Amino acid sequence: MLRTDTVRNILSWYEGETPGLKSNLSRLLMHGRLAGTGRVVILPVDQGFEHGPARSFAPNPIAYDPHYLYELAIDSGVSGYAAPLGLLEQGADTFAGEVPLILKLNSGNSLVGGSDQALTGKVEDAMRLGCVGVGFTIYPGSDHSYDMMEELREISLEAKSRGLMTVVWSYPRGGKVSKEGETGFDIIAYAAHMAALMGATIIKVKLPTAHLDLDAAKPIYEKHAIPREAAADRVRHIMQAAFAGKRIVVFSGGAAKNTDELLDEVRAIREGGGNGSIIGRNSFQRSKEEAIALLNQVMDVYA
């Protein structure tokens, strides 16, 4: 398929990036059922690190097999598949070139707690596995947030010099951010903006609630009457914070939920101008048939 005008326009936003990076971004945007639309749905499977194997895969035991996860990404027609090093290695040869890959380079685990992540892969690994980009989590607000940002700075420079995209999971926590504020309207907008300022090619954030968390921000939101009651309005503001919508922003599918709840969120993302969803547990914890049906419903909304 020839690159569409929509994708050409998106690529034009990324001034200063190399032809190699734009080629890889184009590969992602031109793959799967949403090819050429400017929307993306990505399958992420990094939850084994964060939550442990049983909490991640016991609801659908075939998902313990890394080949199954590749097959789910390919058969469903999603835009890309993101995972840590071991999962991508176990299938990279068998499924080479069949789905764009994103190597998640840092991970935390629930045995340690806290708000930091270890580097668990390298840019060289992403090149070796034929990935289109690397993924990296930052925790704005945490005691380790500055260290994580500095790590991201170095990884981003190395990745971009080799034509790889950077996909930044920007998840606020700690510091002045309350627990409710982790998905607060003002906090998520701040997190998206910080990721854009760090040079993220694609920004991943959680879908915000209407809650305002920072005392300094509340009067500004109220004075300027920034709409926040409807989910689509909240998404619209997140896109505004991401360089006036000139950065691709995808929203986390979050904890397991029923189909109607998930599709309502997807409609709000679409109506607010978001670029798509990154849906993990809500897909791979279902049977393959159910997961493909759900992902097709999600992509139908975006299409």
Q: Tens digits of per-residue pLDDT, 51-109?
A: 999 999 999 999 999 999 999 999 999 999 999 999 999 999 999 999 999 999 999 99
Residue 200 pLDDT: 98
Residue 93 pLDDT: 96
> Residue 255: is its pLDDT beyond 80?
no
Confidence of residue 42 (pLDDT cuts 50, 70, 90): very high
Distance of CA 8 to the CA centre of its chain: 21
> Residue 210: is its pLDDT beyond 90?
yes
In angstroms, rounded to a whole number, what is the distance separating the alpha carbons of residues 138 and 194? 10
Residue 301 pLDDT: 97
Mean pLDDT calculated for residue range 153-159: 98
Residue 16 pLDDT: 93
Residue 254 pLDDT: 74
> Residue 40: is its pLDDT beyond 80?
yes
Query: Is the model more confident about 81 or about 112?
Result: 81
> Residue 156: is its pLDDT beyond 80?
yes
Tokens of 136: 């990296």
The one catalytic residue in 22, 104, 160, 204 is 204
> Residue 193: is its pLDDT beyond 80?
yes
Separation of first and last alpha carbons in the chain = 16
Residue 27 pLDDT: 98
In SS3 terms, the chain reads as: CCCCHHHHHHHHHCCCCCHHHHHHHHHHHCCCCCCCCCCEEEEECCHHHHHCHHHHHCCCHHHHCHHHHHHHHHHHCCCEEEECHHHHHHHHCCCCCCCCEEEECEECCCCCCCCCCEECCCHHHHHHCCCCEEEEEECCCCCCHHHHHHHHHHHHHHHHHCCCEEEEEECCCCCCCCCHHHHCHHHHHHHHHHHHHCCCCEEEECCCCCCCCCCCCHHHHHHCCCCCCCHHHHHHHHHHHCCCCCCEEEEECCCCCCHHHHHHHHHHHHHCCCCEEECCHHHHCCCHHHHHHHHHHHHHHHC
246 is catalytic: no
Mean pLDDT calculated for residue range 230-238: 98
Residue 257 pLDDT: 78
Mean pLDDT calculated for residue range 139-167: 97
> Residue 186: is its pLDDT beyond 80?
yes
Residue 253 pLDDT: 81
Residue 46 pLDDT: 94
Query: Is the model more confident about 258 or about 151?
Result: 151
> Residue 137: is its pLDDT beyond 80?
yes
